[in-house]
Structure 1
Amino acid sequence: MSFKKTGFPLKSDKPVLAGFLVFLTVLLLGAFIYWQRYQILHEERGREMRGIIQVIDNNISQVLKSSYSAALSQALLIGDNGEINDFEIKAKQLLEANPFLDAIQLVPNGVITHVYPLEENEAALNYNILKDETRNKEALRAIDEKKMYFAGPIELKQGGLAVVGRLPVFIEDEFWGFSAVIIKFENFLKHAGFNKLNSKDYKFQFSKVDPDTGIATFFLDEDLSSDAYSEEILFTDGNWKIHIAPENKFVPFISLLPLGVLFLFLAFWLKHRTVKIMKRPERLQAMVDAQNIEIFNSNLRFKKIFNQAAVGMARMDTRTGTFIETNKRFRNFSGYSEKEITGMSFRQLSHPEDIEENQKLMQKLLQGEIKEYSLEKRAIRKNGTVGWIKLTVSPLWHPGQEPSNHIAIIEDITKSKEAELQLTKSYKVLLDQNKRLVNFSYIISHDLRSHSTNIQSILDLYGMSEIPEEKEHYVELLTKVTANLNQTLHHLNEVVSIQNSPNLKKENLNLQEFVNKTIENLSIQIREKKAEMIVEIPEGARVYFNSAYLESVLLNFISNSLRFSDENRKPVIEIRATERNGRWILHISDNGIGIDLEKNMDKLFGLYKTFTNRRDSRGIGLFITKHQVEAMGGEIEVESTPGIGTTFKIKFQ
């Protein structure tokens, strides 16, 4: 067999040159493989660091969210006149519920007046943080941005290094002070997960940019050299950075030294063998044949690994987004056979809401902005069910080449994602329950006051009257009002019984009956105001609503129309209901003093927001009403002109 037949380009009289070229080729190939493997190890290390720092990110975010909730709960102790109620009881409960907190403070006008526990924090009392120019920058920032900001780590007056979260409290849009929480720095690091995640492979650093000097201060005894690659995250709420870097940046390089030595040895060995082969063409042909067999076996092994991988894998046509080939695990997840899925577009398996994000990341990959990308998305199986996957996409082209194919790797994360979504839903339910509890307390203080006013008015009239018939009439009115009060108490008791349920009890209620009952409850005020009531409610108007909430909503709106009537004209209140697209809309219109919506629209439904100088106006009714209607799935619209009147529209679900 001649050299020409084997395809070998060199003559047999140049074996040394051939051996050198083989040596150089193998050496370059080894260097390439060595570099590629090094890059893989380097990127794996980077992903591991990103995963670790993401855990710390989640832990710190949870600490900050819980700290905000604790500060907000403490702020609710402050009354509308700035008085502080039950501080020690509430502070103790918050510390027991939040083990990461070490102390709680109330800081009116920047001066620490209340702190719990007092024994170990007494030195901080009467300290004015706003007058301390070395520490007031972050406090002033919290006031300016009107949101909670975390200062520190700073040295406390009572000693020790800690992180201080300050929530600015405003009453009637005026700054009252701060509701503050203190987390000792070692406790902060513990709940952030530094202790658990610390290992011999990585080191951590915690830094903060000084607001005065702009210089970063480092708080941990770790030296992250500038030439070491690292990952970091920024927390804007405290202007902190968390850094992570390898303990030894040369670990990937050192771990691959045996591979380098192996390639060097292989290059020398192949050089020696090539020289011998050049002298023995027959043996060269045998080696070529053996190499072909090895390549064939390598392809078979690759196919086997591809098809039996523990994760789903697919080779995709980058230009069209269609599947070229998929492994068994991928097809089992999707429910499609190999024949069915080949040629399908990824869009057919993607949830419509997740396609846009996927395409944006692919565009960045095509433009060379990223080397690969991962995202969590929803996939639609053949049977129509939706599952969550973690998708990782890597290109099969080199930089500078025309994009052709890419590899898509999927991991089924449906169970973990559903657990995460359920946890988020549970958290929202808890917030809603707390909101309804606050709402209920406002109902008691506001609605019962209306009934007590009616009773007091009737008793006053009864005491002034000397005519037996009038007194008997007032006794009848008192009986009716008392009966309505009893029913209101019954409804409120019913609301209490369902506060532990995520869903308020709704009933199919007759709107006309509730409107008539409310007018009857307000009959004394209507008579005193000499108001004209125009009611146009169809008998068939029924709404799906909570009965206590509906009574409160009607009482608030109608009593407001009476209370804010124009003294220069007879009050006229029109109540009518219309139906549109299967929904009932209740219109309550009056010819009262009206509201300047251009000035007051943003705070119309705010807590303790008032628009007149009347002493009996407390700014609670509209706040309660809006939340009651929205809790039932409804909406409120308002139209008003000063001096002409106001119309409220309640759109029931």
Structure 2
Amino acid sequence: MDQRKGVSYKISKKLKNPVVAGTLVFFSFIALGAFIFWQRYQILMEQRQSEMSGIIEMVEENIGQSLKSSYSAALSLALLIDDDGEIGDFENTAPRLIEANPILDAVELVPGGVITRVYPLEENSAALNYDILADSTRNEEARKAISSRKMYFAGPIKLRQGGTAVVGRLPVFIDNEFWGFSAVIIKLENLLRQAGLFGLTQDVYRFQFSKEDPLTGNEVYYLPGPVPDEAYSEYIILPDGDWKVYIAPKNPYRELASLWPLAAFIFILSLWMGWMMMRLLKRPHKLEELVEAQAGELYKSELKFRTIFNQAAVGIVRVDTGTGRILEVNRKFRELIGYSREELKNMDYRKLSHPDDIAENDLCMKKLLKGEIREYSLEKRSLRKDGSLAWIKLSVSPLWQPGEEPTSHISIIEDITEKKEAELQLNKSYQMVMDQNRRLLNFSYIISHDLRSHSSNIQSILDLYVISEKEEERRNYVELLKKVSVSLNQTLHHLNEVVSIQTNLDLKREPLKLIYFIEKTLDLLDMQIRSKNALVSLDVPPEAEVEFNPAYLESVILNFLSNALRYSDPERQPKVEVKAYKKDNNWVMEVRDNGIGIDLERNGSKLFGLYKTFSNRSDSRGIGLFITKNQVEAMGGEIQVESTPGKGTTFKVIFG
């Protein structure tokens, strides 16, 4: 015990030494100032990157507009070529195109890869009769346009007639045969001027224009100046010509240089604070006066710290660890969550968490309180004031030392909503593609079987036709062949309709009122309903609304209602009930009839199969239910069926 007291006394004595105390104060303020300096530097760098992103986006838009204008001109020029490959009124059309599109410097027609028409002729006559495809130094990008069947901008290249330009070549095909190119020429300086590279903040930033050489694979730069350093630059990639446009600061250390006065102030302040501490300890009789003076300085320092706290680029929250009450928040967090400082004061942080994410956070907090961990990070959902969700990355650090009683902790919150939503959308798209692949694989087996059946029939009839010697038999075989041909054509029509459903990944969805589409379909079936003397009842709430494709919804409802009428029991009056209700937050449409019914024990597994029929009717094709099921599943829905032979059938569509 005495030994510990002796050690404590020595430490206390050293701390009272003016030099030691002054040095500690100096380095403490240096550390605080370094934090302030770094935060300010980060803010300036973010502002610079944001400004460069805005400028480069403007350049991308300008170049995009120029290329769209060029494409329109090339397309107009291509329309001069008739179905026989003859060129129309080029001499009158070309000047009008140049006049209407200031971005263009020349236009060309290049049949078979040889330049035969060019305007203006005088400045570009040296290019006439030049075979692009025969020139191994130029033909790579021309062949790229042919293979893609889209307009591609080659270059920048040195022109035979002089100057450097980009050449947009639109491949022209007649009867699926390559005819040649409709081409436009844009001088490089003209393109860059239209993009705004010569007028946008040239005093602060510089631009660079580059492209990968198709022969060597090396990136070639076309503007004067050094190669951009990716650590300090922003860039865009323009796919129409595989170009890169960079923007970079002329002086990458400009922001850092602007902060040297702040660094000098921090150093001088720290030095002064250390010197003042030395003076305080040297003059105990002036301690009270100096403490009061220092209180004001400390207040200013705290005010500066608060300023940095509120200007931080991420959300910062201080929380009472024991109660979970929020003690302090910065501006960035308030902007993210939508609450004011007063609303957040003393609020339990759990109220800002999604209910499904509270358990994981509480588990990590328990480990932190037990000392098992000293910090933790996790991704979770946070509830904004307006009820929307924000994905955040939460990093929690305690403000107590190991072995001490827990007091409060700091939470650093980073908004990752866009990143997370992109991940979720990517997973959704991946699942959709996998489902499409699965359905297409199953469908390929159906196609193989059905087409093989038709081809076998045709082959057998042709074999019999060849060996038959009687003219009457041959005529009969020809008639059979016509029937098989008609059946094959109908099969191909059905298969094409199903393929269009299964391969369409970008179907238009919109909110649709069920009652409107059901009543519209009943109007279409009015004659059938009258002829069958059928009773139709509706129980569909006006608010029943689903996200669906309009054409698909009409097809689905028409299929179910027409089937209910078609397969009615001739021994009793047909009755059809249509109703809609909500189940598990999803709308369900139910179509019930008292028709002949389906034996689900025998046919349940084949109910939605292609060309599967379950009645003796001659007009049953087995295509309707297959298409309907694919349409519903393509919209994220599900079909259920209940049926008893002789009593009727109920189809349920659960909208996703």
Instruction: Please give the TM-score of this superposition, normalised by the length of structure 2.
Output: 0.49
Q: TM-score, normalised by structure 1?
A: 0.49
